[in-house]
Amino acid sequence: MNIFSGLEKIVETNYPLANHTWYGLGGPADYFLRPQSVEQLKKVVRICRENQIRIYVMGFGSNLLISDDGLRAAVITLDEEQFKQTQFDDEKVTAWAGAELSNLVLTCVKKGLSGIESLIGIPGSIGGAVKMNAGGNFGDIGAAVETVTLMDNQGSVFEKSKPELMFDYRRTNITAKFILNARIKLAAGDPEQIMQTVKEIWIYKKNTQPLNTKNSGCIFKNPRGLSAGALIDRAGLKGLQIGGAVVSEKHANFIIAQEGCTSRDVMRLIDAMKQRVQERFDTELEQEIEIWS
């Protein structure tokens, strides 16, 4: 019996998840679903709940590592048109979860709207960016987000606004399974000046990060007052390789997946990096990358 009866158009079984991660690694999911509306999403969530199927929500897979064995679960992605919309209202924009962060940044620049230009070059969807408060040396998305629309495991849709909505370094207090959209507050500015800022940040990233490689961004969060990359570098780990996974020579907080790499290789290298930094500096590194198994 097909438990997703009536939803055949949006569900695939034994689906290879590697296609949806920047690493290009990981095994299959029992179910892969692309709901086309909030109502369809509610139906999918209800079926999963009734059949005790675990749910994972996938954005662009840019900060994600999936087990080689895959997932005995339903993976839901919000990449259909309903979930990719952006709606501008003067100096505010409502961006849906599946909208691409980089595209939104550039659209705001063209419209002369400032507030998220510091996020240029950060890959991912709006939903994923809000969930982990994506950012870098120049700022994070949480500073500009006013309100998020959420949906919980019961299919209830509700809003959360500041100050109830809190953003911290690479985390938020959002516990709901689904972020549907976010309202972002911007400010009018000079498009040329904003574009100049974007160019400067992009050049900095190009010079300091291994952009043209298979990676998933920073592996570890920066410990308070410290740089994870600097600690890894000082521990002599640049170039360390396990299987097909290697610590970047350009930025020590990046792991590059070379040909033949497996998720297990990356996981073993993560463990080795954590252990060496702990031994050398008595500092425990906390993962920024999400690992699903």
- Measured in Å, how far apart are the chain's first and last C-alpha atoms? 26
Give the pLDDT confidence of 74-89 residue by residue, as tens digits: 999 999 999 999 999 9
Model confidence at 211, pLDDT cuts 50, 70, 90, reads confident
Q: What are 141-150's pLDDT values in tens digits?
A: 999 999 999 9
List the domains of the chain with CATH numbers: 8-77 (3.30.43.10), 84-207 (3.30.465.10), 228-292 (3.90.78.10)
The rounded distance, in Å, linking the Cα atoms of 62 and 217 is 7
| pLDDT at residue number 214 | 95
Report the share of the chain in percent with pLDDT over 70: 100
Mean pLDDT score of the chain, rounded to an integer?
Answer: 96
Between CA 293 and CA 262 the distance in angstroms is: 13
Whole-number Å distance between alpha carbons of 143 and 152: 24
In angstroms, the CA 31 to CA 38 distance is 18
- Token pair 């990046």 is at which residue? 254
pTM over 0.85: yes
| Whether the predicted pLDDT of 209 surpasses 60 | yes
C-alpha distances in angstroms, 290 versus 58, 137, 191, 270? 11, 20, 35, 12
Residue 137's pLDDT band, with cuts at 50, 70 and 90, is: confident
Distance between CA atoms of residues 129 and 96, nearest Å: 11
Is the CB of residue 257 less than 8 Å from the CB of residue 243?
Answer: no
pLDDT at position 136:
87
Is the per-residue pLDDT at 124 higher than 70? yes
What's the angle, vertex CA 200, arms to CA 195 and CA 205, rounded to 5? 125
pLDDT at residue number 2: 84
CA 239 from centroid of its chain's CA atoms = 25
pLDDT score of 278 more than 80? yes
Q: Which phi and psi angles does 7 have, rounded to 5°? A: -115, 20
Residue 1 has pLDDT above 60, yes or no: no
pLDDT in tens, 82-120: 999 999 999 999 999 999 999 999 999 999 999 999 999
Other Cβ atoms less than 10 A from the Cβ of 105: the count is 21
Contact yes or no for 95/184 (Cβ under 8 A): yes
Q: Among 125, 122, 93, 127, which Cα is nearest to 107's?
A: 93
What is the pLDDT, as a whole number, of residue 144?
98
- For the stretch 18-75, pLDDT in tens is 999 999 999 999 999 999 999 999 999 999 999 999 999 999 999 999 999 999 999 9
The Cα 176–Cα 85 span in angstroms is 21
Q: Is the peptide bond before 123 cis (omega within 30 degrees of 0)?
A: no
- In the chain, the percentage of residues whose pLDDT exceeds 90 is 98
Q: What angle do CA 200, 148, 72 make, to 5 degrees?
A: 95
Q: What would the pLDDT profile of 247-271 be if each residue is shown by its tens digit?
A: 999 999 999 999 999 999 999 999 9
Please give the average per-residue pLDDT across 232-239, as a whole number: 98
Q: Mean pLDDT across the stretch 274-285?
A: 98
Q: What is the dihedral of CA 102, 261, 11, 76, to 10 degrees?
A: -50
